[in-house]
Chains A and B, each alone.
Chain A
Amino acid sequence: MPVNFSVRQLLACLNVSVFDPVKEPALKKIGQTKTETQSCFYNIPSLIIMMIIASVCFYGLRSYSFPAGSVLFIVCGLALQKSNSGAVRFFFRTYFFAGAFLLTQAVFWLSPVVMMALLFVLLVRSFFCPADVWQRIVLAVLFFFLLQSLPIVPLALLSFLGTAGLLFPIKGMRNREAMYVFAVLPVLSLLIEKMTGSLSADSWVWTGVFTSSFLLLIFRLYRDLEIGELSLFVIGALVLFFCGILLSVGIEGSIVLFLVAFFIDSAFLATAAILLFTSFLIVCFLSLPVSLVGAGIISLIAGCFFLLLRCRIKGDANEA
């Protein structure tokens, strides 16, 4: 199947007319949206560096959260409005977010409910108003970390909503980045809990959430699936459920993430899912009570399994 469809051809395949007067303003709007040049200060590596710098600054100043946070928030916020240069904006944006982290902590200590409500309102507002992408990401990350203080159910619900948001883009709602955060961070936090040994009785909640996410994916696809494919998917859901209970809930979660990534064609999410899957596999393997020879045998079997899978996929690719 050719993959070089133009937007026009794609819309034609899906019976969407570009001549529809109702759709004309929206098409014009997309066509005229100024494509932001890929500035070296506005990409994924810069975002990661920004988060690291802001976190380091936050950790250092956390004893003076209110005064330092207020100064950074106000001064850097004002400077950010005035500056045009990419480097200067990056500088002030980083310390603006550091100030935001500090103020979040200060207000959270005073009243957790107020802070969470405020963050929720700001986050939802950013979905509907034209907001800076990084602002949405930072708000989503902050909201996620604040939810850690609650029991597990809201966090699990957030993970489910994240997956749902990725599969169901809603008109007028620019929540993609936040949905990525809500889909990936819970699995990452599960990995950290597994490594520190604190993952225990609540894992069945996560098993349920990840299986539900997979069922949601099936629901999304069911109209385009044949009976045979549908039954395979349902069997897959059962296998995933038992994998989560018997093996590792994190492995189940990362597999579901990968499948979602494939269907939404997201290389970033697929990479994150593979890294999480590998990490969970290693952590589970290292926690097995086996001898060195036993560990060697298990590693050999795992290596052979992945090799067979790779050869099988290579065979399918050659046939295609």
Chain B
Amino acid sequence: MIVPDKKTETFLNKTAKAEDIISLCHEGILPSADFLKALALCRSEKKWLNGIRLALLYLVCLWFCSAFFFFVLSGWSFFYTLNGGILLAILFIVCCCFRRFAIADYVGAFVIGVMIFLPDMVFGTNTFLYKQFFLYFVLLIFWAVPSKRTGIRLLPFIVLNVSIAMYGIQFLLPSFRTDVSSFCALAALLNAGLLILREETVDRITWFRNTAFRLFLLMAGCVFLLAGAIMRENSVSQELPFLYCLFFAVILSAFYFFKDRERTVFCALLVFCALWGSLLLYGYIKSLELSFQTGQALFLTGESLIVMTVWIAGNKLNDCLKEKKNAC
């Protein structure tokens, strides 16, 4: 070969990678005995060292967190005493002083919760959980406002939703003031209301700026709808409100997707539709009263088609977004 053709020349001039070396061995150009030598020449020691150090960091965090967990669990009865309460208070003050570190920020939020729930566990006050979670939500707002971390800012909304769920389970539903479907629809509407409030004020209130708020509130609403669908009684008349809720969730999500081309919102919507479709499929197959094997075959085949549809739709969306980005 005096003058290799263009493609061969391009191949010879490109940076050698492991796949190229394997191809060279498969074609017999490079002897198998030199395989590891060739890889040693191309290996990036820096990349490997960084990868190993990252893996070791995860292991260190895992083992120290588990050590903390076991020590706290073994000495849990200490927190039932006055000294335990004083220790928690000191820990909270230390977290307040060192809030610039992420770990202090999160531990502080956790300690607030411990200080709310501990008296009930120690003294057995039998306070309703939803009241405790609501108090936690209020205190978390004060903790989250000065924080710059999205995780901390999201915590009040997470605790609020837990509080709403506890309110339904512990008070509304046992007292028959409402049924499961209506309660879940109302909870989903509340999240939708918070979402709209966030979208309308995001330009003025920068605290909400991170798109994680949009994703969380949308998903919280969807989770309530799904929970209601799972727990509702088998009644045809209750299907209609959920279909409206489904349309509402889909339209709201599609609106925010087309407004900002937000991929995560659309992917979350696809997952929600897949779960909803699975529930509808399960309900429909159950109503057919087939044998177990036939029912299982139909359900799992349908399930596989749902997952397939979601995956293809998600990938097609990715392609469209990439093309639009490249075109811009």
Contact = CB atoms under 8 A, between A and B. Distances in A.
Interface of A: 1, 3-11, 13-14, 16, 18-19, 21, 23-24, 26-33, 40-41, 46, 49, 52-54, 56-57, 59-61, 63-64, 68, 87, 90-91, 94, 98, 167-174, 176, 220-221, 224, 262-267, 270, 274, 278, 291-293, 295-297, 299-300, 302-303, 306-307, 309-310, 313-314, 316-317, 320
Interface string B21-52: 11111111110101111111111111011011
B63 interface: yes
B29 A26 contact: yes
Contact of A313 (B26, B41, B53): B53
Secondary structure of the B contact surface, majority rule: helix
Contact of B64 (A52, A169, A300): A300
A50 to B, nearest CB: 9
Interface in B1-39: 1-2, 4-5, 7-16, 18, 20-30, 32, 34-39
Contacts of A18: 1, 4, 12
B308 A270 contact: no
B14 A6 contact: yes
B4 A224 contact: no
Interface stretch (B82-90, B153-161, B229-237, B297-305): B297-305
Contacts of B319: 40
Given A19-B1, A27-B4, A60-B296, A6 B12 contact: yes
Interface residues of B, number: 79
A313 B49 contact: yes
Given A5-B42, A306-B59, 5 more contacts: A14-B38, A40-B318, A265-B18, A296-B66, A296-B74
B186 interface: no
A61 B297 contact: yes
Nearest to A174: B26
Contacts of A310: 53, 56-57, 60
Given A3-B44, A30-B27, A87-B312, A60 B301 contact: yes
A10 to B, nearest CB: 4
14 contacts: A3-B43, A4-B15, A10-B38, A11-B30, A16-B29, A28-B5, A40-B315, A53-B304, A61-B301, A87-B312, A94-B304, A168-B35, A278-B59, A313-B53
Among A4, A18, A27, A63, the one with the most B-chain Cβ atoms within 10 Å of its Cβ is A27
Contacts of A167: 35-36
A314 B46 CA distance: 11
A1 B39 CA distance: 13
